[in-house]
């Protein structure tokens, strides 16, 4: 199933809107809904139908994609009476938000209670990869719908990693998110430390460039930190949410994570200072402010 597949996208923020546009480009029939309708309306010009309710978007859809902020919001929106029961026969719910282990389990149970096939498929990437259709999809769910879902994944991403039963995608997403937020925290302190000791941060990037220590992501986010300009690719407040999901899962597994806790605290400082809506690289603001 590819051309003319009916896809409902619930959540048209930075990521969801970009994904919806790529689904339209793949010649799928896309319906969109967002709590703030004004965020969904621009997609009408791209060919999407803007729905007045989640149930209207989901009615008769072959695929339901959720790209909302957290598991509580998703459960509230999708749990409304006619959303899941309104899907087409053999419709599939592809849950692509980052919701953590407990959140995923809760949503999978909701799908089961409504007799709907559930695929856990969070993505790696932020605004630009989403716009370019270059996300990495961490897919997990029933093997029998793997082929059916692939055209959807191909429309929004350039690589799909199929991981087995539903829930494995969310677990791997937490692991990768821990690496990302940890890198950001260390990068922020590295640039602040360079400036505090009289070192031009550009020299740091020159020193690691092209070697085993180099990370392309460090140059992207590091440039924002150096320029102190944080156009939002992924908001700091959502990065903090993701860090919290990592810490929750670690505690449930009996693992202490001192570094992750420290980075989460730095995000809290940046958010409290008013940078929650700016890019997650704005964690630098907290590192910079820590200088006495």
Choose the catalytic residue: 39, 148, 173, 237: 173
Nearest-Å Rg of the Cα atoms of the chain is 20
Active site residue 109: no
Residue 64 has phi, psi (to 5 degrees) of -115, 120
Residue 127: count of CB within 10 angstroms of its CB = 17
42, 195, 197, 221 from 202: Cα distances, Å: 39, 10, 14, 13
Instruction: Report helix, strand and coil shares of the chain as percent, to nearest 5.
Output: 55, 15, 30
Nearest to 67 by CA among 107, 27, 101: 107
Q: Tokens 């999978």 — which residue?
A: 108
Q: Are 66 and 10 in contact (CB under 8 A)?
A: yes
Q: Are 218 and 208 in contact (CB under 8 A)?
A: yes
Cα(209)–Cα(192) distance, rounded to whole angstroms?
19
Mark 150-186 as b/e (b = at least 16 C-beta within 10 Å): bbbbbbbbeebbbbeebbbbbbbbbebbbebbbebbe
Q: Are 27 and 2 in contact (CB under 8 A)?
A: yes
Give the H or E element holding residue 191: helix 168-196
Cα(263)–Cα(13) distance, rounded to whole angstroms?
25
Catalytic center residues? 173
């Amino acid at each position: 199933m590819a051309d003319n597949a009916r896809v409902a996208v619930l959540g048209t923020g930075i990521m969801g809107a970009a994904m919806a546009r790529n689904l339209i480009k793949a010649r799928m029939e896309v319906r969109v809904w967002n709590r703030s309708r004004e965020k969904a309306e621009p997609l009408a010009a791209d060919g999407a139908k803007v729905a007045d309710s989640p149930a209207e978007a989901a009615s008769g859809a072959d695929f339901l994609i959720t790209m909302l902020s957290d598991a509580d919001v998703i459960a509230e929106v999708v749990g409304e009476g006619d959303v899941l029961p309104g899907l087409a026969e053999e419709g599939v719910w592809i849950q692509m938000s980052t919701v953590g282990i407990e959140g995923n389990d809760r949503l999978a149970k909701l799908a089961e209670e409504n007799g709907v096939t559930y695929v856990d498929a969070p993505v790696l990437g932020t605004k630009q990869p989403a716009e370019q259709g270059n996300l990495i999809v961490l897919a997990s769910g029933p093997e029998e719908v793997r082929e059916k879902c692939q055209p959807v994944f191909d429309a929004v991403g350039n690589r799909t990693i199929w991981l087995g039963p539903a829930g494995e995608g969310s677990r791997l997403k937490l692991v990768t998110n821990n690496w990302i937020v940890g890198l950001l925290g260390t990068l922020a302190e590295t640039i602040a430390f360079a400036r505090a000791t009289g070192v031009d941060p550009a020299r740091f990037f020159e020193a690691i460039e092209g070697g085993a220590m180099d990370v392309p992501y460090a140059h992207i986010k590091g440039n924002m930190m150096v320029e102190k300009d944080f156009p939002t690719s992924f908001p700091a407040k959502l990065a903090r949410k993701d860090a919290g999901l990592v810490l929750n899962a670690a505690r449930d597994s009996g693992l202490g994570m001192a570094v992750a806790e420290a980075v989460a605290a730095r995000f809290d400082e940046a958010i409290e200072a008013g940078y929650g809506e700016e890019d997650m690289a704005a964690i630098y603001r907290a590192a910079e402010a820590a200088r006495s």
